[in-house]
Structure 1
Amino acid sequence: MEQMVSNVQKKIFLRWILDRHLLANREIIWLLHYLMSNDQLLGMIHIVDDVVGVNRLITITSPEQEGHIFRYVKATVETNDPEKAFHDLRMNQQEDVYLELNIEAVRRSPIYFSVLEENPNSSVDVHERYGRMAERAAGEAERIFIVDQLSKGINNALDNGDKEQFYLLSKQLNEVRRNQSKKTE
């Protein structure tokens, strides 16, 4: 079963990584910012847990692990330079790119499972491998998105002096938070 992940979910995930300062390499951080700013390219990025057998891939590894912290492969050409990858990604936005993150803090996080897609060359699908974790993460990502949208709406209502909208959205936000606290009890 193939999972479709929206650009909004991918942006939330990449922003989550950047906000936690899980990456130290400046060029990799710039590359992720570029991906988030280009919707067409972001739509071609697929976050997978294994890049075996794909034609175009990026792997990002935490500095604590052995090996290169960055690797970009396109067919038979390979580089460890994020800047070269950036230029190729910028010039070629027709072919899917598979992104593997070998960062322990990412792989343990529920948000990771909400954006995880299947490698087309893998015989085991994501839901078989991760099951309920992926479902919970998708629900959490949806809740985060709803809270974010309600918060933005509340700010807009305050900016526009719209009391009715403010009270309506505040009530909805409180309800979402109340439901979440009931689930965690």
Structure 2
Amino acid sequence: MEQMVSNVQKKTFLRWILDRHLLTNREIIWLLHYLMSNDQLLGIIHIVDDVARCNRLITIAAPRNDGLVFRYIKATVETNDPEKAFHDLRMNQQEDVYLELDIEAVRRSPIYFSVLEENPNSAIDVHEKYGHMAEHATNEAERIFITERLNQAINEALDNGDETLFYTLTKQLNEVKKNNLK
């Protein structure tokens, strides 16, 4: 099952990464800004969990001891220079590019699962592999939303001096917290 991810979703995801300063290499940051500014190019970018056996790929990793944080491969040519990748991406905007982000904070985030697509060369279905994680991320997002809404309503009840509503909402908030611990 192939998932279609819109350019808006991809831009939001890339902006999320940049806003959290998860990358330190300025050339990689510039490359991501360029991807976000070019809709045609962004349309051929596919965010996958594994780029194995892809013909054209980019991997971006968190800084490690070996220093390898960026890799661009097109057929048999490989480079660690984001600037060379930029020039190739700028000149060839027809062939699909598969992007793997090997950054722990990204791979644990619900937004990552919203843009994750399948590698066409992989035998394992993304939904099979990450279905439980996506479900957990959805449940966590719902719990956070409900908690925030209840906290806001509790504050309003306090501001209005509505003691009955305050106790009712506090009881609901405690139930949400209790259910989360199970």
Shift of 1:67: 5.0
Once the two structures are superposed, residues 98-138 of structure 1 have per-residue CA deviations (whole angstroms, 9 ceiling, x without a partner) of: 00000011011111010000000111111000114335657
Question: Contact (CA 8 Å) 1:114, 1:135: kept in 2 or not?
Answer: no
What is the rounded CA distance, in whole Å, between the counterparts of 2:40 and 2:137 in structure 1?
25
Q: Does 1:9 align with 2:14?
A: no
* TM superposition shift of 1:56: 0.1
Structure 1 residue 181, shift from structure 2 partner: 3.9
Letter in 2 for 1:37: S
One-letter amino acid matched to 1:52: A
Gaps of 5+ in 2: 151-172, 177-182
Q: Secondary structure at the match of 1:28?
A: helix
Q: Which runs of 4+ in 1 moved over 2 A?
A: 64-67, 132-141, 177-182
Within 5 A, what are the aligned runs for 1:8-157?
8-64=8-64, 66=66, 68-134=68-134
Indicate the percent of aligned positions where both proteins have the same amino acid.
79
Structure 2 residue aligned with 1:147: none
> Structure 2 matches for 1:165-184, cutoff 5 A?
181=149
Instruction: Output the amino acid matched with 2:34.
Output: Y
What displacement does 1:140 show?
9.3
Shift in Å, 1:68: 1.1
Question: What is the alpha-carbon distance in structure 2 between the residues aligned to residue 106 and residue 65 of structure 1?
Answer: 19
The two structures have a TM-score, normalised by structure 2, of 0.75
Gaps of at least 5 residues in structure 1 are 144-176
Q: 1:21 to 1:47 in 2, by over 3 A?
A: same
* Paired residue total: 150
Contact 1:70 1:80 in 2 (8 A): yes
Residues 102, 178 of structure 1: CA spacing in aligned structure 2 closer, same or farther, 3 A cutoff? closer
Is residue 5–residue 117 contact of structure 1 (8 Å, CA) maintained in 2? Answer: yes
C-alpha spacing 1:38/1:45, structure 2 compared with 1 (3 Å): same
Equivalent residues of 1:112, 1:137 under 8 A apart: no
For residue 123 of structure 1, give the secondary structure of its aligned residue in structure 2: coil
What letter corresponds to residue 5 of structure 2 in structure 1? V
Q: Is the 8 A contact 1:61 1:102 kept in 2?
A: yes
For the pair shown, the structure with the greater C-alpha radius of gyration is 2
Q: Using structure 1 for the length normalisation, give the TM-score.
A: 0.74
Is contact 1:7-1:42 (8 Å) kept? yes
Task: State the one-letter code of the partner of 1:9.
Answer: Q
Shift in alpha-carbon separation, 1:95–1:133, aligned structure 2, 3 A: same
